[in-house]
A and B are shown apart, each in its own frame.
Chain A
Amino acid sequence: MEGDRWQKRIVRREIYRYMGMKEQAADEALQAQVNEQLKRLLSVCRVRSFYQVFPLCVLEAGEARTASGPEERAPVLRLGPLTIASRDLARNLRGCDEAALFGATLGLEADRLIYRLGRMALGEAVITDACAAAAIEAVCDELCEELAAEASRLGRRTRPRFSPGFGDFTLEYQAALLRTLELQKRIGVSLTAGGMMTPTKSVTAVVGLW
């Protein structure tokens, strides 16, 4: 991973947030530790990402909850081969006729490093884990900027990314999303039996185009 570029992109505030504290609360020694762990993390990561754009349409409009009416039903979207029932995703994608699905990962190397540190030096492990969480966000941010730039060349715009697990867009869709993008083959991301992504520092998301 090109360390310098990511060093700049990664939001420090986020690293501290993942460690359960504010950046201002960190003394010099901790800041130095964070910088050191971040540098080491970036030196081992192999970032990979993949996206694909699919047509999007609303299959069913869904129904809001009313006092006497039928039960609440989430709108149903058709996104390429996927059928997704989610009110929050539908709101995010309102007005879009296409959406990009993407997957991104810091790769197995990040997990390896965190695993090893977790057995050798827990303090460093926790800092590295927080750095990795901030790093994968930075990777996603950059990917979304690329998508936006590409879209704008075609006179289109993008919506903020929306991931399984946000609102009522449940994690159950993760498996279908991984299959659709063939993420295991392309970037080495798969699911455990419990539905967790491995490597753990991985993200999938939907980005609406309009």
Chain B
Amino acid sequence: MVIGVTPYDRRKKENVFGKGDSMKNDIRDYLGKEFLFYDGGTGTYLQSRGLPPGELPESWNITHRETILQMHKSFLEAGSNILLANTFGANAGKLAGTGYDLRTIITAGVENAREAIRQYRAGSGRLDGDGLEAAGADRTRPLFVSMDIGPSGHLMEPYGDLSFDDAYEWFRQTAVYGEQAGADLITIETMSDSYEVKAALLAAKEHTSLPVFVTMVFDESGRLLTGGEIQGTAALLEGLGADAIGLNCGLGPYQMETLAKKLLACTGLPVIVNPNAGLPRSENGRTVYDIDEEEFGRVMERIAAGGAWVLGGCCGTTDAYIAETVRRLNGQKPAKRVVRKRTLVTSGSQCVEIGGDPVLIGERINPTGKKWLKQALLTGDTERILKEAVKEQEDGAHILDVNAGLPGISEADKLRELIPALQAVTDLPLQIDTSDAAAMEQAARLYNGRPMLNSVNGKKESMDAVFPIVRKYGGVVVALCLDEDGIPADAEGRVKIARKILETAASYGIDKTDIVVDALALTVSADAGSARVTLETLRRLRKELGVCTVLGVSNISFGLPAREIINGAFFAMALENGLSCGIVNPASQAMRDAYDSYRALCGYDANCAAYIAHNADRKTGAAALALEGGKTVVGTGENREREKSHGPETSLSGEGEAGGLRHAIEKGLVGEARKRTRELLCTKQPLAVIDGQLIPALDAVGKRFEKGTLFLPQLLMSADAAGAAFEVIRGYFAQSGQAQEKKGRIVIATVKGDIHDIGKNIVKALLENYGYDVLDLGKDVEPQRVVDAARESGAPLVGLSALMTTTVAYMEATIKLLREQLPQVKIMVGGAVLNPEYAAAIGADFYGADAMASVRYAEELLAEGIFA
């Protein structure tokens, strides 16, 4: 039996990051034994000493050293144990262009704090005569200098322009310089993005041997700016090896008291609480806070009684606030805490708990037995995969399994590409499904959140490879009940393997709550007893090992007809026998029925609300069969349930007769277009469909757009419908082994510095509909990358988009580079700030005023034979 240990206990026994624990005074030895106090607001102090808002506070480490020393000493006198070096904004990004050297600023910051401690230890008497000496009277108490690492100042990709790798590198530099300068620990603070904090924490853990504390900013509802909630964020930080976690900034002590309770209830780590001095208001251009030190200290005492071990202040808190807090807690000991560990999987903004209400894991992104997905993986058709992911989410999945294992492609490369792309379109947590440990590690590293990892098994080789990944990045790992001797035929054998896996995991410091055991469903048509064994295994795993369970449910029905029927029945039986999560097709009605029924029957669905919502309009019996038959056509999901046409019902041109493909495209009906295309392909050649229906429809819509009788949203809905039709045709081509002929290749990109990409996506969609092979480099693209892509692909035409005056400079730079290195390439540009003159001035060949213009230009070049 595995004994649960709190993550904090085990964290100290070893260091998975390859660096030995510091030989220095280790702050972790004091956690929970006595209260430790951070200092107060650095910005507040420096502004009161004349730092103008907007000036780089870290520059004062060099220019106003004496002021910094005074600040640190005032907090030491107040009773602080941990001095934050004045390095909050010291990172490569923020210092760029300031003329200050990163290492110099950080070294000065750490040394100033160290010097303040030296002077304080040696000193006697008080500093300013403020009468604050009492709290900080014991000059021999443990004192620490912490490196202070704040946010990068940039939003992470894909919504911002900072890549995970760049963020990691910035934080690495800062952390390393801090350790070299002699810091005792690292505090990563004021973080509001779980992905950014992952980069910072990994960088600090991998490149220093210092303890790392992390505090983040939550709003009053308990969410990060990027959407993550307390429970999931705490699980993420625990998994990544933070030594203490907590809250700072944003809120005052009252609001933080509520949040601290939540945090204390869900983490076994030591908890830090550093509030502002209340809520801010503006007074004569200055920010002031609404709580005085008395009140602050009073609430902080309550927060400490609730179980926080490390306390301090943020914006607006002076030495008086710290002194009052220290005074009140003088002689008290930190509260003991017991926390029940949970099985949590997270994304950047969502947290899914396994072990209570059953969880659905979408199985669709796995190429086994799926021709379309194999094709999409091989040809790099990521969009198709993203659409499937969004559809699974809409069908009710809670977690998505992602498997990119296919002969002939590098699984690691593919997962590195797919995972950020998937996380940009779905906020569901992902299950990284691979038997390649190197691929699993790279994916787990890049993943935003605390992933589910699929899988480990009882073979020594597997555990040796997978457990270090779980240990280092955190996450929940699926453990298969098989080992060197194969899959045991009985439940006894499977439970035995599960026990072995849990014990081995424990030796890595991995708790059983981070493991979900797969009892293994094997096809019942080959062995009549197999389902019974699986169900018994589930029961015993839950009862004897107290561990969460998972199954690839539909494996049960291989080789049988009407698989859905038996899958649904087995799923309901498995749930009743203790299954925590099922890897299923969430679009399957039978699975949905089993799941909804189980939840309603077992009390997970209050008032049967979900059951009613899903089934109120449902017909049963013969009517249901008819309905199912008609349900074979589904929209992109975004369009499902709603196929309203645009434009009057009779087409202006009168060309697209109602009910035909042309009509569907002209009206922007995605589902209808797909259905009509399928019908047409039964009798017609794909090329005939394209030339006879698709292109005329697009032309009609394009002409109306150019005449101003139809507008951009309608043009694009038609483009979406045409895109859906093309998708069907592509599938047909793939099946028949033919290839669709392309007119020519075009490279497009949104230029460096610019992250708007709707305009570029519009151009791409239209060009693709007109038969061009478009290589989309995305947004914020370096000039050289554009040149390289044009060279490698041999595209004779490059399209560039920029939306802002500030980013047109990069467009110009890109054009210049293209002209130098690929003088024969034609360049078209577009974007809100451009006009024909401006475009000509920066050297473009063509300015596209709207979405159709780029198509017309490409068609012109095609007529000239440039794509030949």
Question: Which residues of A come within 8 Å of B, CB atoms?
Answer: 19-21, 25-27, 29-30, 32-33, 36, 51-55, 80-82, 107-109, 111-112, 114-127, 129-130, 165, 171, 176, 179-180, 184-185, 187-188, 190-196, 198-200
Residue on B with the closest CB to A165? Answer: B805
Decide yes or no whether B138 CB sits under 8 A from chain A.
no
Once the chains bind, are A117 and B638 in contact (CB under 8 Å)?
yes
Decide yes or no whether B668 CB sits under 8 A from chain A.
yes
Given contacts A118-B758, A196-B807, 9 further A-B contacts (CB under 8 A): A80-B53, A108-B227, A115-B424, A119-B386, A121-B636, A124-B639, A124-B717, A129-B758, A196-B161
Once the chains bind, are A194 and B161 in contact (CB under 8 Å)?
yes
B805 proximity list for chain A (CB < 8 A):
165, 171
Once the chains bind, are A122 and B716 in contact (CB under 8 Å)?
yes
Of B108-116, B351-359, B362-370, B644-652, the stretch lying at the interface with chain A is B644-652
- A to B CB contacts below 8 Å, 22 in the list: A20-B711, A33-B644, A51-B282, A52-B287, A114-B758, A116-B425, A116-B426, A120-B386, A121-B717, A122-B720, A124-B717, A125-B716, A125-B758, A126-B758, A129-B758, A185-B249, A188-B192, A190-B160, A194-B753, A195-B806, A196-B161, A198-B161
Residue on B with the closest CB to A37? Answer: B713
For the complex, what is the distance from the CA of A80 to the CA of B427, rounded to whole Å? 41
Once the chains bind, are B390 and A185 in contact (CB under 8 Å)?
no
Once the chains bind, are B804 and A195 in contact (CB under 8 Å)?
yes
B810 proximity list for chain A (CB < 8 A):
194
Interchain CB contact (< 8 A) of A127 among B155, B161, B645, B713? B713
B504 proximity list for chain A (CB < 8 A):
none
Q: Contacts A21-B711, A27-B647, A196-B753 given; indicate if A122 touches B161 (C-beta within 8 A).
A: no
Q: Contacts A21-B711, A188-B192 given; indicate if A193 touches B390 (C-beta within 8 A).
A: no
**In angstroms, how far is the closest chain B Cβ from the Cβ of A119?**
6
**In angstroms, how far is the closest chain A Cβ from the Cβ of B806?**
4
Decide yes or no whether B54 CB sits under 8 A from chain A.
yes
* Chain B 125-166: CB-based contact to A (< 8 A → 1; otherwise 0): 000000000000000000000000001011100111100000
Number of residue pairs across A and B with beta carbons under 8 Å?
189
Interchain CB contact (< 8 A) of A198 among B642, B644, B755, B803? B755
**In angstroms, how far is the closest chain A Cβ from the Cβ of B252?**
14
Question: Which residues of B come within 8 Å of A, CB atoms?
Answer: 52-55, 151, 153-155, 158-161, 190, 192, 217, 225-227, 249-250, 282, 284-285, 287, 383, 386-387, 390, 424-427, 636-639, 642, 644-648, 668, 670, 711-720, 752-758, 761-762, 765, 780, 803-807, 810, 850
Interface core residue of B427, B668, B717 (most chain A CB under 10 Å): B717
Q: Contacts A108-B159, A115-B159 given; indicate if A192 touches B154 (C-beta within 8 A).
A: yes
Once the chains bind, are A120 and B227 in contact (CB under 8 Å)?
no
**In angstroms, how far is the closest chain B Cβ from the Cβ of A30?**
5
A117 proximity list for chain B (CB < 8 A):
638
For the complex, what is the distance from the CA of A61 to the CA of B284, rounded to whole Å? 24
For the complex, what is the distance from the CA of A179 to the CA of B52, rounded to whole Å? 11
Interface core residue of A26, A118, A123, A196 (most chain B CB under 10 Å): A123
A112 proximity list for chain B (CB < 8 A):
159, 427
**In angstroms, how far is the closest chain B Cβ from the Cβ of A3?**
17
Once the chains bind, are A123 and B717 in contact (CB under 8 Å)?
yes
B161 proximity list for chain A (CB < 8 A):
192-194, 196, 198
Interface core residue of B227, B285, B718 (most chain A CB under 10 Å): B285
Once the chains bind, are A123 and B153 in contact (CB under 8 Å)?
no
Q: Contacts A32-B644, A116-B424, A119-B425 given; indicate if A108 touches B282 (C-beta within 8 A).
A: no
Interchain CB contact (< 8 A) of B225 among A54, A108, A120, A130? A108
For the complex, what is the distance from the CA of A155 to the CA of B135, rounded to whole Å? 47
Q: Contacts A179-B53, A185-B217 given; indicate if A52 touches B427 (C-beta within 8 A).
A: no
**In angstroms, how far is the closest chain B Cβ from the Cβ of A41?**
13
Interchain CB contact (< 8 A) of A115 among B155, B158, B717, B765? B158
**In angstroms, how far is the closest chain A Cβ from the Cβ of B698?**
14
Once the chains bind, are A53 and B425 in contact (CB under 8 Å)?
no
Top 7 nearest A-B pairs by Cβ distance?
A194-B753, A123-B717, A188-B225, A123-B716, A192-B161, A195-B806, A21-B711
For the complex, what is the distance from the CA of A119 to the CA of B390, rounded to whole Å? 10
**In angstroms, how far is the closest chain A Cβ from the Cβ of B26?**
31
Q: Contacts A55-B285, A120-B386 given; indicate if A81 touches B52 (C-beta within 8 A).
A: yes
**In angstroms, how far is the closest chain A Cβ from the Cβ of B523?**
36
A180 proximity list for chain B (CB < 8 A):
53-54
Once the chains bind, are B638 and A30 in contact (CB under 8 Å)?
no
Once the chains bind, are B387 and A120 in contact (CB under 8 Å)?
yes
**In angstroms, how far is the closest chain B Cβ from the Cβ of A12?**
14
**In angstroms, how far is the closest chain B Cβ from the Cβ of A84?**
12
**In angstroms, how far is the closest chain A Cβ from the Cβ of B727?**
12
**In angstroms, how far is the closest chain A Cβ from the Cβ of B854?**
14
Once the chains bind, are B155 and A199 in contact (CB under 8 Å)?
yes
Q: Contacts A33-B646, A126-B712 given; indicate if A194 touches B754 (C-beta within 8 A).
A: yes
For the complex, what is the distance from the CA of A108 to the CA of B196, rounded to whole Å? 14
B383 proximity list for chain A (CB < 8 A):
119
Once the chains bind, are B648 and A27 in contact (CB under 8 Å)?
yes
Q: Contacts A51-B282, A116-B390 given; indicate if A29 touches B647 (C-beta within 8 A).
A: yes
B757 proximity list for chain A (CB < 8 A):
118
Once the chains bind, are B714 and A120 in contact (CB under 8 Å)?
no
Once the chains bind, are A171 and B806 in contact (CB under 8 Å)?
yes
Once the chains bind, are B642 and A36 in contact (CB under 8 Å)?
yes
**In angstroms, how far is the closest chain B Cβ from the Cβ of A60?**
19
Interchain CB contact (< 8 A) of A126 among B54, B225, B426, B713? B713
A109 proximity list for chain B (CB < 8 A):
227
Residue on B with the closest CB to A21? Answer: B711
A55 proximity list for chain B (CB < 8 A):
284-285
Once the chains bind, are B387 and A200 in contact (CB under 8 Å)?
no
For the complex, what is the distance from the CA of A81 to the CA of B53, rounded to whole Å? 6
For the complex, what is the distance from the CA of A178 to the CA of B806, rounded to whole Å? 17
Residue on A with the closest CB to B152? Answer: A190
A115 proximity list for chain B (CB < 8 A):
158-159, 424-425
For the complex, what is the distance from the CA of A127 to the CA of B720, rounded to whole Å? 13
A54 proximity list for chain B (CB < 8 A):
285
For the complex, what is the distance from the CA of A51 to the CA of B805, rounded to whole Å? 26
Once the chains bind, are B53 and A30 in contact (CB under 8 Å)?
no
Once the chains bind, are A82 and B54 in contact (CB under 8 Å)?
yes
For the complex, what is the distance from the CA of A184 to the CA of B716, rounded to whole Å? 34
B249 proximity list for chain A (CB < 8 A):
185
Once the chains bind, are A185 and B190 in contact (CB under 8 Å)?
yes
B807 proximity list for chain A (CB < 8 A):
194-196
Once the chains bind, are B54 and A176 in contact (CB under 8 Å)?
yes
Q: Contacts A19-B711, A126-B716 given; indicate if A120 touches B636 (C-beta within 8 A).
A: yes
Once the chains bind, are A52 and B720 in contact (CB under 8 Å)?
no
B387 proximity list for chain A (CB < 8 A):
119-120
Interface core residue of B284, B711, B719, B765 (most chain A CB under 10 Å): B711
For the complex, what is the distance from the CA of A193 to the CA of B93, rounded to whole Å? 9
Interchain CB contact (< 8 A) of B159 among A20, A111, A176? A111
Interchain CB contact (< 8 A) of B806 among A29, A82, A196? A196
**In angstroms, how far is the closest chain A Cβ from the Cβ of B215?**
13
For the complex, what is the distance from the CA of A52 to the CA of B780, rounded to whole Å? 32
Residue on A with the closest CB to B383? Answer: A119
**In angstroms, how far is the closest chain B Cβ from the Cβ of A106?**
12
For the complex, what is the distance from the CA of A52 to the CA of B647, rounded to whole Å? 48
Residue on A with the closest CB to B56? Answer: A179
Interface core residue of B190, B226, B718, B758 (most chain A CB under 10 Å): B758
Once the chains bind, are B636 and A194 in contact (CB under 8 Å)?
no
**In angstroms, how far is the closest chain B Cβ from the Cβ of A171?**
6
For the complex, what is the distance from the CA of A168 to the CA of B851, rounded to whole Å? 30
For the complex, what is the distance from the CA of A119 to the CA of B718, rounded to whole Å? 15
